[in-house]
């Protein structure tokens, strides 16, 4: 195999095309409910900034994080979408959070008073989401009447705008749905009590990843998938519910190969002994890179598309694997620790089972020390193909920009279509409505080249210089799509390419070829 990565010989690949595919799939699964992508813990170890951009491009309505620092990192990298901090914000961090337009979770009255005081001093309305503890016993107003009365007092505090009321499941990945149904019932009772007192709950959200996969009763106004964005499953019985694509691959190259006689030991503690003449390969990653120490003598890696067992103890920086049955393996060859190679696949769930943990932990453990390589179109792994590029006078002759579309396992991703007339190479004359019609016409050309129609469009992102243009543009948008109403996100972004007023990206269903 030709190595395109020339850095440290152990690295992590993050497939952004697969990520966008997963988001589109999840959006279809829960439609018309909004999707807030939970990208806490550095997007479960995948890289918060590239992941944030990818999930928003695929139609996520907002982002959820666990700490103020995570939210600030997104803002400092020009992420302007709504960000909800799901965790506790200490009093000394409230000012920082509000300065960066972060929505905050309120879980008790004292917490609300602290946020109110800072917001009132700044002369703003802090956007908050009230959290209800329906049975996880973590954060939140207790669902029982005494705490419910306290939650009602939050609405009277100055400087607060209650945008949402939410809770979190404790056991939604269980085969028995009983406890989850009980949590849903408690949540609805809490919200009904607020509404009976004339207190709104504009955005109601309950579903985490397992709820999003398998509990339709929990979809409400918004869902908050996290783990499943990255192609992992909360439980094995949930795998048939949605054909997700694994986003992460962890790879290392063989550093050295030893040939051992029967009876020799491998690794710290002499925990593995060769029962025959054996070839042992050393790979340059270990538990400091996130590989669980419990994986030793249990887990496999993939070399030449075949499984090879990790042998001996996992070291801080290295592991050893038995390649006796892979005679072609040599120093420099790639070994896949998580991900696909050939027809074989090692999932985070498989590795988690060997380490007596969950796939969430496996993903987040492969953290900062491993270099990350972000892939956007990985043709080598199948299922991804470029469709014919739409060559117009505008794209080919005037700007050299082709605006291609990419098919990925039944999903069509269409890059930005500007409001340029292909005959003149200039922005369509006549103002915002004329430009909107031209951009949509260009979009339809790309759809036609992929043998799909505008009725297959799942969502659009509409870029305009200023939100003031949207009212007029919306008339044209509604006229174009008619009764079919794909989800949309409108992004005011200042200057567009070539002085245009409109640019449109889209995701459509295109079926398998």
Task: Provide mean pLDDT across the span 119-147.
Answer: 95
Question: Residue 473 corresponds to which tokens in the numbers above?
Answer: 């543009």
Question: Residue 46 corresponds to which tokens in the numbers above?
Answer: 């995948």
- 68-97 pLDDT tens trace: 999 999 999 999 999 999 999 999 999 999
Query: For residue 80, what are the contacts with CB-CB under 8 A and spacing of at least 6?
Result: 491
Question: Within a 10 A sphere around the Cβ of 268, how many other Cβ atoms?
Answer: 13
- 322-334 pLDDT tens trace: 999 999 999 999 9
Letter string b/e over residues 399-430, b meaning 16 or more CB atoms within 10 A of that residue's CB:
eeeebbbbbbbbbbbbbbbbbbbbeeeebbee
Inform me whether the pLDDT recorded for 381 exceeds 60.
no
C-alpha 217, offset from chain centre: 22
DSSP state of 28: H
Inform me whether the pLDDT recorded for 401 exceeds 50.
no
Of the pLDDT bands very low, low, confident and very high (cuts 50, 70, 90), residue 471 is confident
Give the H or E element holding residue 222: strand 222-223
- 4-19 pLDDT tens trace: 566 889 999 999 989 9
What domains does the chain contain, in order, with CATH numbers? 18-238 (3.20.20.10), 248-346 (2.40.37.10), 384-509 (3.30.1330.40)
What pLDDT, on a 0 to 100 scale, did the predictor assign at position 410?
67
- The crossing angle, in degrees rounded to 10, of helices 68-76 and 48-57 is 70
Which residue, 378, 391, 394, 476, is CA-closest to 432? 476
Task: Provide mean pLDDT across the span 122-142.
Answer: 96
Query: For residue 342, what are the contacts with CB-CB under 8 A and spacing of at least 6?
Result: 302, 304, 305, 306
Phi-psi category of 498—alpha, beta or left, where left has phi over 0 and alpha has psi -120 to 50?
Answer: left
Inform me whether the pLDDT recorded for 384 exceeds 50.
no
The number of helix segments (H) and strand segments (E) in the chain equals 13, 29
What pLDDT, on a 0 to 100 scale, did the predictor assign at position 393?
36
Query: For residue 320, what are the contacts with CB-CB under 8 A and spacing of at least 6?
Result: 266, 267, 280, 281, 282, 283, 310, 311, 312
Which range (100-109, 237-246, 296-305, 404-413) has the least confidence? 404-413
Give the CA distances from residue 308 to residues 256, 282, 327, in Å, rounded to whole numbers and listed in that order. 15, 12, 12
- 197-254 pLDDT tens trace: 999 999 999 999 999 999 999 999 999 999 999 999 999 999 999 999 999 999 999 9
Of the pLDDT bands very low, low, confident and very high (cuts 50, 70, 90), residue 486 is confident
Which residues are identified as catalytic? 40, 268
Inform me whether the pLDDT recorded for 188 exceeds 90.
yes
């Amino acid at each position: 195999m030709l190595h395109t990565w020339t850095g440290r010989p152990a690295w992590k690949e993050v497939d952004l095309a697969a990520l966008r595919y997963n988001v589109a799939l999840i959006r279809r699964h829960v439609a018309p409910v909004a999707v807030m992508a939970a990208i806490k813990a550095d997007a479960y170890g995948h890289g918060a900034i590239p992941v944030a951009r990818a999930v928003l491009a695929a139609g996520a309505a907002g982002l959820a994080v666990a700490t103020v620092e995570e939210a600030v990192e997104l803002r400092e990298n020009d992420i302007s979408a709504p960000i909800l901090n799901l965790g506790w914000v200490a009093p000394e961090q409230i000012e920082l959070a509000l300065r960066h337009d972060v929505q905050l979770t309120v879980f008790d009255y004292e917490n609300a008073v602290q946020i109110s005081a800072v917001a009132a001093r700044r002369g703003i309305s802090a956007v908050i989401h009230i959290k209800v503890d329906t049975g996880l016993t973590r954060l939140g107003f207790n669902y029982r009447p005494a705490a419910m009365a306290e939650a009602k007092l939050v609405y009277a505090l100055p400087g607060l705008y209650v945008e949402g009321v939410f809770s979190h499941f404790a056991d939604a990945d269980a085969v028995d749905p009983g406890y989850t149904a009980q949590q849903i019932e408690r949540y609805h009772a809490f919200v009904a009590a607020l509404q009976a007192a004339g207190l709104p709950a504009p955005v109601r959200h309950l579903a985490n990843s397992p709820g999003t996969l398998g509990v339709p009763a929990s979809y409400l106004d918004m869902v908050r998938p996290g783990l499943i964005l990255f192609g992992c499953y909360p439980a094995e019985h949930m795998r048939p519910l949605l054909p997700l694509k694994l986003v992460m691959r962890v790879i290392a190259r063989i550093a050295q190969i030893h040939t051992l006689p029967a009876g020799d030991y491998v690794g710290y503690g002499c925990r593995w002994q060769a029962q025959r003449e054996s070839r042992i390969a050393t790979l340059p990653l270990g538990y400091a890179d996130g590989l669980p120490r419990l994986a030793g003598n249990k887990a496999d890696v993939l070399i030449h598309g075949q499984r090879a067992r990790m042998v001996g103890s996992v070291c801080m920086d290295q592991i050893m694997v038995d390649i006796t049955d892979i005679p072609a393996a040599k120093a420099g060859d790639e070994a896949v620790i998580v991900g696909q190679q050939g027809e074989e696949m090692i999932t985070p769930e498989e590795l988690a089972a060997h380490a007596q943990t969950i796939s969430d932990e496996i993903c987040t453990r492969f953290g900062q020390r491993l270099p990350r390589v972000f892939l956007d179109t990985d043709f080598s792994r199948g299922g991804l193909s470029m469709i014919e590029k739409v060559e117009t006078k505008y794209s080919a002759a005037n700007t050299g920009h082709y605006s291609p579309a990419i098919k990925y396992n039944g999903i069509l991703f269409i890059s930005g279509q500007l409001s340029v007339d292909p005959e003149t190479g200039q922005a369509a004359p006549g103002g915002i409505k004329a430009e909107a019609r031209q951009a949509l016409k260009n979009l339809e050309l790309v759809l036609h080249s992929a043998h799909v129609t505008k009725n297959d469009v799942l969502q659009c992102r509409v870029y305009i210089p200023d939100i003031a243009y949207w009212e007029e543009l919306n008339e044209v948008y509604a006229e174009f799509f008619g009764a079919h109403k794909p989800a949309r996100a409108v992004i005011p972004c200042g200057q567009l390419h070539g002085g245009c007023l409109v640019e449109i990206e889209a995701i459509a269903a295109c079926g398998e070829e």
